[in-house]
Amino acid sequence: MPIETHPLQTTFRPGDPSLLRNKQGRCRKCDKAQTPGEKFRFCKGCNVAIYCSEECQRAHWEHHKPLCQYQQENTAFFQSHPEVIAPTEPGMPNILEMQLYLRDFTEAHRPSFQGLLHAKMLSMGGTKKVLTKENPQVCLIPLKYRPPGPDGVNPALTFSYSNCVMLPRARVLADAAEHRPRFLEAWEKSAESRAHVAATFGNDLDFVDILPVLFAPHHGPAQFGYFPQYSGFEGDGLERPPSREVIAAQLDTYAMFIELGIVLRQPSATAAPIPGYMQKIGDGKKWEWRAMWTNWYSDPEWTRAKTSKDRVRLFKRKLAEAQRREAS
């Protein structure tokens, strides 16, 4: 059950509009990966979608066109209304900067959010029970902006996470229609793109649906993310389905990763994700992922850390040790 088909970023330059998710990823149409030295083509309209060939770009245009046109209109709107992008609070970035920071933050922690969402489904009775066509859901994740530390804008620590709430999709969109009309327009324009994303996972027998996740900072722009959800490991065919205690521990662990700035990544395509952190490179304009463990599941300290408090203390110490090694 993959997190997604596109590779996750391991290098960030916070606030850089030219570095977008999947820039070095795969063709939006055929899912082909770039080979070393190969250069895919960007959509000239939005400068976001990439394609391996003109043929794939043409074939995908019917799916991409509505969102591409909206993104171009949105860019023109901000250019003609500079007052709209002003910071919402003193000492905070402007709206466009916040959008970029939010994009980097959600990308850095995508595996943790995926794990957290699956645990949330388990706590509510399972994915198939929660994600029904009769009552489609949206997961609301409130966030709070955290000013940069002495090392600069760490993409893994730009926002503070507290909880996630499942809400009826109709309620979320009704609120958007009242308070964020352009946001609602973006949702409507992305319909074809969302359907295309869902179709890419349709061959997996455990796939249930794409869950829209609304990342909503208390101040500044909100952002939708789309996470494939699966029904595997939820009790069907298992001798012992996950207990409430196990599910609660999963929720606590993924929340801890996000709040502490622990970033999960796969060291190889077939390996399980391991925890790491973002290391500042040079003057802080570039951050790269570094592993904290090679195999944390077999680490005796992790095995002994039974409570959330024990795990927080362990990760804080491991993080400090790793950063000291980098500095020496």
**DSSP assignment of 128-164:** HHHS-SSS-EEEEEEEEE---BTTB--GGGSEEE---
Give CA–CA dist 288/262, Å, rounded: 13
pLDDT at position 2 is: 40
Give CA–CA dist 143/152, Å, rounded: 19
Our measurement of the distance from residue 277's CA atom to the centroid of its chain's CA atoms, rounded to an integer in Å, reads 16
Unique residue bearing structure tokens 């171009």: 72
Number of H helices, E strands in the chain: 10, 11
Do 158 and 146 touch, CB atoms closer than 8 A? yes
Our measurement of the distance from residue 40's CA atom to the centroid of its chain's CA atoms, rounded to an integer in Å, reads 23
Question: Could you give the 3-state DSSP secondary structure of residue 280?
Answer: strand
Question: Length of the chain in residues, anyone?
Answer: 328
**CA dihedral (73, 137, 249, 268) positive or negative:** negative
Average pLDDT per block of 10 residues along the chain, 328 residues long: 59 71 65 80 83 92 85 80 76 85 92 94 90 91 92 93 92 82 79 78 85 89 87 59 85 94 87 90 85 85 87 90 79
| Cβ neighbours, 10 Å, residue 8 | 19
Give CA–CA dist 47/45, Å, rounded: 6
Q: 80 to each of 93, 104, 188, 238, 255, how far by Cα in Å?
A: 19, 26, 23, 58, 39
pLDDT at position 156 is: 95
Q: Is 184 exposed, middle or buried (0-12, 13-18, 19+ CB in 10 A)?
A: middle
Give CA–CA dist 145/215, Å, rounded: 12
230 Cβ neighbours under 8 A, 6+ residues apart: 1, 118, 127, 204, 206, 207, 208
Give CA–CA dist 142/4, Å, rounded: 23
Angle at which helices 181-189 and 169-179 cross, to 10° = 130
Give CA–CA dist 307/304, Å, rounded: 9
Pairing mode of beta strands 137-145, 159-161: antiparallel
215 Cβ neighbours under 8 A, 6+ residues apart: 102, 106, 141, 143, 222, 223, 224, 225
